[in-house]
Structure 1
Amino acid sequence: MLLTLLAGFFAMTFGVSALPAHAKEGPVEGQTFVIATDTTFAPFEFRDSSGEMTGIDMDMIREIARREGFNVDIRALGFDAALQAVTSGQADGVIAGMSITDPRKEVFDFSDPYFDSGIQMAVKADDTSITSYQDLKGKTVVAKTGAEGLAFAQSIADQYGFTVKALDKADTMYSEVAAGNAAAVFDDYPVLAYGINQGNGLKIVTEKEQGSSYGFAVLKGQNPELLQAFNDGLASMRADGSYQDTLDRYLQAPNSGESSQSFWGLLTQSMPALLKGLLLTLGATALSLVFASLLGVAFGFCKVSGSKILGALASVYVDIFRGTPLLVQAFFFYFGVPAALDIKMSVLTAGVITLSLNAGAYMTEIVRGGIQSVDTGQMEAARSLGLNWMQSMRKIVVPQAIKIMTPSFINQFVITLKDTSLLAVLGFAELTYQGQQIIARNFRSFEIWLIVGAMYFIVIFALTKLSNRIDRRINK
C-alpha cells in the first residue's frame, strides 16, 4: 500500500499529460500510451530549468497527442533502455532522435520521417591540430551508443586509423573531448550545434555528412493505431506550419545563459530539481530497507535454524543476489520480468524490488553472523531453563545479536542509499539522474557533480551520525 501511494506521488510529481480538451475522435481517443525517450539528446529531448522534459521530440509528441486525442506518459530512460522498454512491453512507442535503419525495421515499425539528420565532427575549441579525418590517425574519438554518429565513425575508423569509443550520453562525450581524453566527437549536427551554443567548449571542424531520417517507432506488428495517429498528427503539423515552428524554436534558439551563470546562480536554479531527486532517493532507500530487513531476518533465521532445506534455500538466495551485479538485477526486473510475464512495472517498483532483494541478501549474512557471534553457551543455558528454541532466540540470543549487528546495519543503509544512483540508467529520477539532466542542458559538469556529491555527503554524514547515536544508546 505504501509503495502504491509513493508511486502515485512520484507520478504526480514528474507529470503525466492530461487528456486534451478538443481532441480528435479516432481509434486512439482517450487512451494513454507510454512513450519512452532518451534522457540527454538536446535539442530533441532534455530537461528544462524546471525539470520538465522538453525539446523537439517532446513538443512534437505532445502536440500530436493533443490533436489526435490521446494521452502520453513520457518515460525518460536513455536511448538503449528506451528501445528495451518497447521490446519488453514496458512502453508502447519510442521517440528519441532514432534513425530509421534496415536492421531496426526488423524489430520496429516506423512512422513517416520527421527529421533528416547528418553527422559532423567536433573537437576542443582551442585545438588547431585536427581539422579533418586525416588528422585522427592513432587517436581515439567518441560517439553515442546506438546513434548514427557511432555507425559513421566506425565505418571510417579503419580508413583513417583511429579508435572509436561508444558512450551513452552526449554530455559525457563532450566532457571526454574537453578533458583531452578523446580527440574528437561524432554526433548529429543539430545536437552538436546546440551543445556548442550552450558552451560545451567544442567547435565543429567538418562539413555535414549525409545522414538518415528520424522516426517514431512501435514494436513490429503492435500499436498500428498509435503509429497512424502519429503520422496523421505530423501531417497536420506540417500543413499548418507548427512543425517548422517547433524546429526553429530549438535549432535557432539563443544561448540560455546558464553556462555564464555564477556558481551560486547555478546552485539556486538547480536546487529544486536536485531536492526532488533527493526526495526520491531517500524514499526509495527507506522502502527498500524496510523490505530488505524483513528478508534479512527471515533468511537469516533460515540459515541458523538447523534445517538443511531452509538453510539451502537461504544460501541460494544470498549467492544469487550477492553474486550478480546490481545493474544486471535492475535490468532483469525492469525489462526481463515484464517481458516474460507480459506485465508492466513502474521504474519505482522495479527499483525498490532490486534494492530490497540485493540489500536483503547482505542483511541475511549480517543477521546470520550476528546470531552466530553470540556465545553458544547462552542458548544452552536458556534451553536448560526450559525455554524452547524460539523462546531462547527471542529472549536471550537475538537481543544480544542486535547489539552486534547494529553497526553493520548502519553500513548497509549507507550502501543502499548510494546504490540508488545506479538506477539512473532506468530513468529512475533520483539525485544522480537529476544531475545528469542538468548537465545535459548546461554542460557544467564540474559544478553540478560537485553539488550532487556534496548533497550525498551531507545526507549520508547526517544519517550516519544519527545512526551512530542510536547505536550508542542501544549498546550502552
Structure 2
Amino acid sequence: MRAERSPNVGPGAVDTPRCRLAVLLTAVMLGLVGVAMLSPATASAQEQTYVIATDTTFAPFEFQDAQGNFVGIDMDLIRAIAEDQGFNVDIKPLGFDAALQAVQANQVDGVIAGMSITDERKQVFDFSEPYFESGVQMAVLEDNEDVKSYEDLRGKRVSVKNGTQGSDFANSIKDQYGFEVVSFADSSTMFDEVKTGNSAAVFEDYPVLLYGIAQGNGFKTVTPKEDPTGYGFAVNKGQNPELLSKFNEGLNNLRESGKYDEIVNSYLGEEASTADTSYLGLIKSTFPILMEGLRMTVILTVVSIAIALVLGVIVGLMRVSRAIWLRAIGTTFVDIFRGTPLLVQAFFIYFGVPSALGFQMSALTAGIITLSLNAGAYMTEIVRGGILSVDKGQMEASRSLGIGYLPTMRKVILPQAIRTMIPSYINQFVITLKDTSILSVIGIAELTQTGRIIIAGNFQSFKMWLIIGIIYFVVIMALTKLSDRLEKRLVK
C-alpha cells in the first residue's frame, strides 16, 4: 500500500511547499539585490568621500534625533569640517568598541566618537589635534545623600562604559577606595544600572553627565572634574594622513569663525532643550525611527531565514547521505555554527574575514551572512529530524519501484517531512527575529539597537523598552498565529 500511495500523495503534497519554496527563493534573490544596493560598493562614487565610524549612544557627542538623523557635537563638527574642506562623509554608527575595530580592520577611514587621546591608543591610531577638552566626574542619583565623595564608595559598586576615560579612572582608584567596577557597552545601560540600585554611582565624561542632567535623567555630580584629557579624531596607524590634515585645518577654521563655539553651545549651553517624555509624546516622536528599526529587523529575518532554509535542506540531505564524506561536511558545518556564539560569528565575519583577506564588507551583508549560517545550522537539524521521522519503508517502497534516491527524496520523503518540520521552522523564524538584536554590535540599527539609540538621547529607558517590547510581542504573536494557520492548511 505504501508503494502505491506514495506516488499519488507525493505530487499533491509537494505543490504547496514547492510554491512556497519558490516564493522564498524569490525573496532571497530580492534580498540579495537589496543587499547589493545598500552595499558601500554601490554607494556614491564621488571623490573624497570618507567613511567615518562613530558611537551610537554617547549624547551629546553622538545620538539620534526625532527624525532619525545622527546628531551631536561630533556629528555636527565632522560635517562642518567636511563642508569647510570640500569632502563628503559617510557616517557609520557602530558603537564605540566596534568603531575602533572597524578602523583597525580598514573597514572605515576614521573614527570620531568622543575618543580620549591616550598614550596607549597612540600606539594603534594616529590622532588629530584635540577638538574638545573633557574630564571625568562621578555622579549619583539626585536623591542620594549618602555618596558625596570617593570615600563613601567603599564596599559599593560603580558603573562605567567600556573603553572610556571614566572606566580607566574608576579602575585606577578602585583599590584605594575599596569599590567594585562593573562595565557596560553603552551609556544608557550604565545609568540604568544605578537607577536599579545595583550600583551607587557612575564615572563618566563631564559633558555627557551635564547633557543627561539637562535632559532630566535624575542624576547629579558630586565630585570635581578629574583627569582632564582631549578628545581626538583618529585614523588607523599610518593610514589616511590627508584626512587627518584636512580635519586639523578645518577645525582651526571653525574655531576662528566661531562656528565651533556655536556647535558646542547648542548641546551644552542654555540652547539645549528637553522633549515631551510622556508615553504619547515618546510614541509620537520616535514612531518613524522605531518603524525603520522594525523594517531592518524584518529584512534581516526574512532574507536570512530564506537562505537558512535552502542551506538547511542542502546540508540536511548531506547529513543523512549514504556518503561518509558528505555526512562529515554536514556535521562539521552544524558543529561550528551551533558550537560558537552568534556574537563571535558576527565579529569574525564582519571584522576578521575582511581584515584577513583584504576587502570591505557592508554591515548588512555581514549581518545576513551571520544570521543565515547560524540559522542554517539549526535548520539543518530540523530537516534531518524531519527526514528521519518518515518511516523507512517509504524509501524502500519507492526504491523497489525503480525510483532513484534523489527523486524519492524530492517526491516522497521531503513532502512528508515538511509537515513535521513546519512548527520547528516557525520557531526558528522567531528565534532568528530575536537574534537580529545581537547584530547591533556591528552597527546595524535594527529594532533593539534603535531603542538604545533613542534612550541615549532621552534617557527614558523604562518607557522605551516597554514600547519596544510591545512591538516585538505584536510582531511575534502575528507570526505565530500565521504559522498556526499555515500548519493547519498543510496538514489537511
Does TM, scored on the shorter chain, surpass 0.5? Answer: yes
Provide Cα deviations, 1:66-115, integer angstroms capped at 9, x if missing partner: 11111111011111110000001111100001011111001000001111
Partner amino acid, structure 1, of 2:385 = G
- Stretches of structure 2 that go unaligned for 5 or more consecutive residues are 1-28
Partner amino acid, structure 2, of 1:334 = Y
Q: 331, 334, 337: which one pairs with 1:321?
A: 337
1:109 matches 2:126: yes
Contact in 2 for aligned 1:17/1:71 (Cα 8 Å)? no
2:34 aligns with 6
1:274 aligns with 290
Q: 248, 259, 270: which one pairs with 1:242?
A: 259
1:149 aligns with 166
Q: 299, 324, 335: which one pairs with 1:283?
A: 299
Contact in 2 for aligned 1:296/1:363 (Cα 8 Å)? yes
Please give the residue correspondences for 1:283-302 in structure 2 after superposition, counting only pairs within 5 Å: 283-302=299-318
Provide Cα deviations, 1:382-409, integer angstroms capped at 9, x if missing partner: 1111111112112211111111111111
Q: 17, 28, 41: which one pairs with 2:58?
A: 41
Change (3 A) 1:285 1:390: same
Quick one: distance in 2 between partners of 1:191 and 1:56?
11
Please give the residue correspondences for 1:88-103 in structure 2 after superposition, counting only pairs within 5 Å: 88-103=105-120
2:484 aligns with 468
1:345 aligns with 361
Change (3 A) 1:400 1:179: same
Please give the residue correspondences for 1:26-65 in structure 2 after superposition, counting only pairs within 5 Å: 30-65=47-82
**Residue 470 of structure 2 aligns to a residue in which SS?**
helix
User: By how many angstroms is 1:253 displaced?
Assistant: 4.3
User: By how many angstroms is 1:9 displaced?
Assistant: 6.4
Q: 327, 333, 343: which one pairs with 1:311?
A: 327
1:233 aligns with 250
Q: 411, 431, 452: which one pairs with 2:447?
A: 431
1:26 aligns with none
**Residue 91 of structure 1 aligns to a residue in which SS?**
coil
Contact in 2 for aligned 1:197/1:254 (Cα 8 Å)? no
Quick one: distance in 1 between partners of 2:206 and 2:291?
34
1:210 aligns with 227
**Residue 191 of structure 2 aligns to a residue in which SS?**
helix
Provide Cα deviations, 1:394-428, integer angstroms capped at 9, x if missing partner: 22111111111111111111111110011112111
Please give the residue correspondences for 1:341-380 in structure 2 after superposition, counting only pairs within 5 Å: 341-380=357-396
Partner amino acid, structure 2, of 1:408 = S
Q: 212, 224, 230: which one pairs with 2:241?
A: 224
Partner amino acid, structure 2, of 1:307 = A
Contact in 2 for aligned 1:18/1:71 (Cα 8 Å)? no
Change (3 A) 1:227 1:399: same
2:16 aligns with none
Provide Cα deviations, 1:309-351, integer angstroms capped at 9, x if missing partner: 0000000000000000001100111111110111111110000
Contact in 2 for aligned 1:178/1:202 (Cα 8 Å)? no
When the two structures are superposed, what TM-score results if normalisation uses the length of structure 2? 0.91
**Residue 98 of structure 1 aligns to a residue in which SS?**
coil
Q: What's the RMSD between the two structures over aligned residues?
A: 1.6
- Stretches of structure 1 that go unaligned for 5 or more consecutive residues are 20-29
Quick one: distance in 2 between partners of 1:296 and 1:382?
24
User: By how many angstroms is 1:18 displaced?
Assistant: 11
Contact in 2 for aligned 1:39/1:78 (Cα 8 Å)? yes
**Residue 133 of structure 2 aligns to a residue in which SS?**
strand
Quick one: distance in 2 between partners of 1:322 and 1:121?
42
Partner amino acid, structure 2, of 1:462 = A
When the two structures are superposed, what TM-score results if normalisation uses the length of structure 1? 0.95
Contact in 2 for aligned 1:148/1:211 (Cα 8 Å)? no
Please give the residue correspondences for 1:160-199 in structure 2 after superposition, counting only pairs within 5 Å: 160-199=177-216
Runs of 4+ in 1 over 2 A off after TM superposition: 1-12, 16-19, 253-258
1:158 matches 2:186: no
Percent of pairs identical after alignment?
60
Quick one: distance in 1 between partners of 2:303 and 2:31?
8
Quick one: distance in 1 between partners of 2:476 and 2:160?
35
Contact in 2 for aligned 1:92/1:218 (Cα 8 Å)? yes
Contact in 2 for aligned 1:17/1:72 (Cα 8 Å)? no
